[in-house]
Structure 1
Amino acid sequence: MAGYSIDITKRKQIEEALRESEKRYRIIFERSPLAVVRFDSEGLIVDFNDRFIDMMGSTREKLLGFNSMKQSTPEMSEIIKKALSGEIVSYEGSYTSVTGGKTTFLRGLFNPVTPGHSPTDVIAALEDITELKKHEKEQQKIEKLESLGLLAGGIAHDFNNILTGIMGNLSFSKVLLNTEHRAQKPLAEAEKATRRAAELAQQLLTFAKGGEPNKKVVSLQRLISDAVSFMLRGSNVKPIVTIPTSLHAIRADEGQICQVLNNLIINADQAMPGGGTLTITGRNEAFQPANSLHLGAGPYIRLDIHDTGCGISPDSLAKIFDPYFSTKISGTGLGLATAYSIIQRHKGHISVSSTIGAGSTFTILLPSIGTSVGEMSVEAKETTVSPKSGSILVMDDEQMIRDIAEQILSFLGYEVTTCKDGEEAIKLYRASLESHKTYAAVIMDLTIPGGLGGKETAKHILASDPAAHLIVSSGYSNDHIVANFRRYGFSGAITKPYNIDDFKKVLSAVSARIAEL
């Protein structure tokens, strides 16, 4: 009897241990951060946790008893078939739930309860990696933009130099001819076409060099108002702009943000050739750490730009921000790619939603300073005076640009010396100091391949003559040195491609500044 009593006690202890084990298993099963599902040896779903229900977008009633061998997708049925035969199977891919219709990017492992035996029950642990895949896709897009940007930057730099030669010669030819000459009109048209080509080059350069925005506090109310007024001039599209005065200001590159707004408004206008409504709204938002958009925590502004146009097809929507992709025959495919690049460089986010026949909405999120400001003060216009005669040194690695600059400046009454790089410019300037015939101004290209560029050359010249009057020249108007030229010791800046009027303007501005000192 004593032995029998011990057996009963042991059995109860074992049963209690099993119940505790089952309880612990159930807790782990239900509280797992992964979706867990169990299939019986025939492929029927016999158990699952709430995470699995959410992942499938379904209900417990629809999932329980679901025959995965007969009712699931062919790919999933094959995976479960292998697992039922005793094989451990890993899976990663997009799956659309048969019972719920929800599409999820899954990563998981299908484990036979008795590995190596067939048939066997199977337990699968599944992870929803949809957001991770979205983030990876965004990263790939950014890397693609950056690599293409390097190529675009090189092309645009050379293109701008060619345009400088063309525009300079066109503008010079115009001043050499009588104002009534019949060649004036075609020359003006050619100059206008060159300006359009320069705008394309500028987009390429922004696309390539957008990583260095010149940030300052910017009021979006003014930028949006100016962009709508300018871009919709003469259009039959009706704008409705609702931007509250409480909208926070942002710290951004004003020129680049203007370019984004202009591109989006142009796109909206072109999507409504028969007229329509363009609605722009803005509001303040805040993001917490570890948000789904992978944005930094803090205050943001949100802009929604909605048109009532034809909409964008799902196929086009997936490629809408890709470089050189355009739904328009005459489009360059750079506008939205550039906008995407600029917003990314500003640590923001841009997305689009669209319905065929109902229009599209572009949404922009940008970090804000957390407070609103009044209208930005408008800088006073620089006083201009007539250019004074004197000698000017021009530094550029392109012979064609040196030649046209010399012709134009000589025509304006200056003595001109040219050189091809910084080393030569430094020698010439020091020689002018020794001969007491200092140059009235030095115009220098910012970038000299294989040699000293404008920034480095300026340091050497200013070390020899702190009173030197230096003008930086670049094909990229948004370059941080061009935008903040005085910070780097320059007295003025001129952007390629330039014409005779651009030379007059910059030399007048520099002359005015000299007079102030």
Structure 2
Amino acid sequence: MQKRPKVWRKVVANVPPWLYLGSVFILVGIVVVMTMRNTHREKSLTAQTLLEKGAALIKAFESGARTGMGMHWRGDQFQVLLEEMANQPGIFYLAVTGEDGLILADSDKGKIGSRLHGPEEMKALAIGAKEKWRVTSLADGRKAFEVYRDFAPLARRDAAEYCEEEVWQYACPWSRPGSSQGTGRQAIFIAFDVAPFDAALAEDMHNTVILSAILLLLGVGGVMTLFWAQSYRFSRRQLQDTRAFASEIINNLPVGLITTDSDGKLAVVNSAAERISGLKAADIMGKIPEEVLPGAWCSLRDVVDKGEPVMEHETECSFDGEKNLPLSLSASKILNEEGTHLGNLFIFRDLGEVRRLQEEVRRKEKLAALGSLAAGVAHEIRNPLSSIKGFAKYFEGQCAEGSQGRELAAVMAQEVDRLNRVITELLDFARPSDLKTRSTDVGSLIEHSLRLVRQDAEGKKITVTFDRNAGLPVIAIDPDRLTQALLNLYLNAIQAMENGGTLAVRAAADGRGGVRIEVEDSGKGIAPESLSSIFNPYFTTKSSGTGLGLAIVQKIIEAHRGEVKVKSTPDRGTTFNILLPVGRPEGVAS
């Protein structure tokens, strides 16, 4: 930081006092004008909001009345509609009157037949087809924001046609035979309680006044600080120190921030630093960093003290002496405007999530390369296998029944079939995740998939259950690929229950329009050390498995922009949880 030039100090000292005083008056005028404009704008917005709300309710009631006429409602049904619409917070009444102010329909049934406004007042209101408003006082002294306009749910000729029948005489009180208002115009009034809006306006006015006062005080303070700059140089220096701290320290950062003072003690520790380090600010404030922070962290201080800033230095630190956290550290000195050293600033980010994402990217790149390689190898192997199987069948037919040669040829054909199944799984895994989606009933799809494995389950004395939630939505999925994923999970579950058990499948809406599917078995479970690897290709705990089944499941679910999770307890069973979103997966054919 550079020191303020002496020439500038002389200019500040030689400014005439009347210039400062004039600046204060100008600032006061600006603040007053801003306050008045803000108050006027708030009142206009409040009136506009209530007017639009009243207009919407009037249109809604007209539409309801029009619908009721089409459904042959009676008068009590119109009254219920009127009362229900008026039974909202902040509404005093909703009424329909004749052109002389006599109430024809009211949210308070007891007021029908009385007068809402006098004839002269009704004429003064100049009621027309467009909504108007005014602020009036009720009989009990409360203020009301009244919105009104003509009321005509149907054209007059249509209303007369509907109301001629006896069934409509109760639904059309304004057209009842013998009514003096039956042929005149009607008006609809809705009155809102303006007390909450007045309170909010008063609160906003209060806040505006406070803010204006603060701005005024800051402005006056700034002018007076300049005016008394030469007399209060020590106070000015303290203000500069505060500005330096304020410019460097930003609250509520998503990264950890720690500062030290000029004595080298910890001065500021933000909430993100507490969360990352697990240390409480109250426990470490005022202490030397070497006493509470890791050595790898504090070694940066020597570099900073030499005047060399540190930017995005990656390291690992252990704040609790056990777990190492990957961190990105930045550090610099804090200097005031005169170049005085006030302390050091340390900023650090937790790289754990970044490392996890990097590892995920590397894993997917590795899987993509592996899939491409597998596809090429599978295509090269499948053709020779077909020839080998053909020769095996030929030799099997040439050998006598029950001979060793015939048995060896049969084994050769079986092994070729097994290799073909492995190659098929390789190709399924390597195949691009192009989905052909269509709107599908997930419940019916699950029932169909369970029928395919029910015979295998019954052969091992396994009970199959399906709990289908009644509110399952129809979502866009590829039914063939999802069936393949479910079959892989079912077969894994059946193989895990050699001595019988229960295969339970549950499906329900997840509350956001998607579907959650659970596949649970009561088998031998998965060892905790294997849980993190079960979705890796070629990882298997079975002697005859290929390790591609669950990898294919994960690939299919992720292609649907879903996720699959697993929970397992050894000797108690395993649960796979699939979440499918409601939206159509990106980049798929419909």
Give how far 1:321 is off. Answer: 2.3
Tell whether 2:329 aligns with 1:108. Answer: yes
Which residue identity is paired with 1:35?
G
- Aligned mates of 1:61, 1:360 — CA distance in 2: 45
Alpha-carbon separation, structure 1, partners of 2:461 and 2:384: 37
| Highest RCO, 1 vs 2 (Cα 8 Å, sep ≥ 6) | 1
* Aligned-pair identity (%): 26
Which residue is 2:515 aligned to?
301
Equivalent of 1:92 in 314, 317, 328: 314
Mapping for residues 346-385 of structure 1, pairs under 5 Å: 346-354=560-568, 360-368=574-582
Greater shift after overlay, 275-284 or 251-260?
A: 275-284
CA distances 1:23-58 after superposition (whole Å, capped 9, x unpaired) = 8448x5213332211246897643211222233345
Aligned residue for 2:534? 320
| TM-score, reference length from structure 1 | 0.55
Matched, 1:46 2:271: no
CA 1:253/1:167 → structure 2, altered by over 3 Å: closer, same or farther? farther
SS at match of 1:318: helix
Contact 2:296 2:315 in 1 (8 A): no
Aligned to 1:197: 419
**1:31 and 2:252 are equivalent in the alignment:** yes
Do residues 311 (structure 1) and 526 (structure 2) align? Answer: yes
Over alpha carbons, which structure has the higher Rg? 2
**Distance apart, 1:204 and its partner CA:** 0.4
> Is residue 59 of structure 1 aligned with residue 280 of structure 2?
yes
Amino acid aligned to 1:256? R
Structure 1 partner of 2:450:
225
SS of the residue corresponding to residue 30 of structure 1 reads: coil
- Work out whether 1:282 is the aligned partner of 2:513: no
SS at match of 1:322: coil
Contact 2:229 2:236 in 1 (8 A): no
User: Match of 1:313, as an amino acid?
Assistant: P
Match of 1:345 among 559, 562, 569: 559
Q: Sort the Cα spacing of 1:286 and 1:108 in 2 relative to 1 into closer, same or farther, 3 A.
A: farther
Asked whether 1:251 is paired with 2:476, we answer yes
In 1, the alpha carbon distance for the partners of 2:356 and 2:303 equals: 30
Q: Which deviations, in whole Å up to 9, do the C-alpha atoms of 1:450-486 show, x marking residues without a partner?
A: xxxxxxxxxxxxxxxxxxxxxxxxxxxxxx9xxx9xx
Alignment partner, residue 210 of structure 1: 432
| Cα distance between partner residues in 1 of 2:345 and 2:500 | 58
CA pair 166-138 structure 1, distance change in 2 beyond 3 A: same
Distance 2:313 2:329 in 1: 5
Deviation, structure 1 residue 120: 9.1
SS at match of 2:533: coil
Give the structure 1 partner of residue 90 of structure 2: none
Structure 1, unpaired ranges of 5+: 288-298, 371-479, 485-517
- The AA in structure 1 aligned to 2:446 is Q
Match of 1:333 in 2: 547
Aligned length: 353
- Summarize deviations over 1:492-517 as a string: whole Å, max 9, x none: xxxxxxxxxxxxxxxxxxxxxxxxxx
Q: What displacement does 1:202 show?
A: 1.0
Q: CA deviation at 1:201?
A: 1.1
* Distance in 1 between residues matched to 2:402 and 2:246, nearest whole Å: 96
Question: Using the alignment, how far apart are the partners of 2:557 and 2:409 within structure 1?
Answer: 38
Q: Distance in 2 between matches of 1:199 and 1:205?
A: 10
C-alpha distance in 1 between matches for 2:284 and 2:331: 17
More off after superposition, 148-157 vs 167-176: 167-176
Q: 1:139–1:84: structure 2 CA closer, same or farther, 3 Å change rule?
A: same
Q: Following the alignment from structure 1 to structure 2, what is the Cα–Cα distance between the partners of residues 109 and 163?
A: 60
C-alpha separation in 1, matches of 2:465 and 2:317 = 41
* CA gap 1:243/1:174 in 2 versus in 1, 3 angstroms: farther
| 1:11 and 2:233 aligned | yes
Unaligned runs of 5+ in 2: 1-12, 15-226
Structure 1 residue 149: Cα displacement: 0.8
Q: Taking structure 2 as the reference length, what is the TM-score of the superposition? A: 0.49
CA contact (8 A) 2:392 2:413 kept: yes
Residue by residue, what CA displacement relative to the aligned partner does 1:97-136 show, whole Å, maximum 9, x if unpaired?
429x88765333133447xx9x994322123444343333
Give the conservation status (yes or no) of the 8 Å contact 1:280–1:306. yes
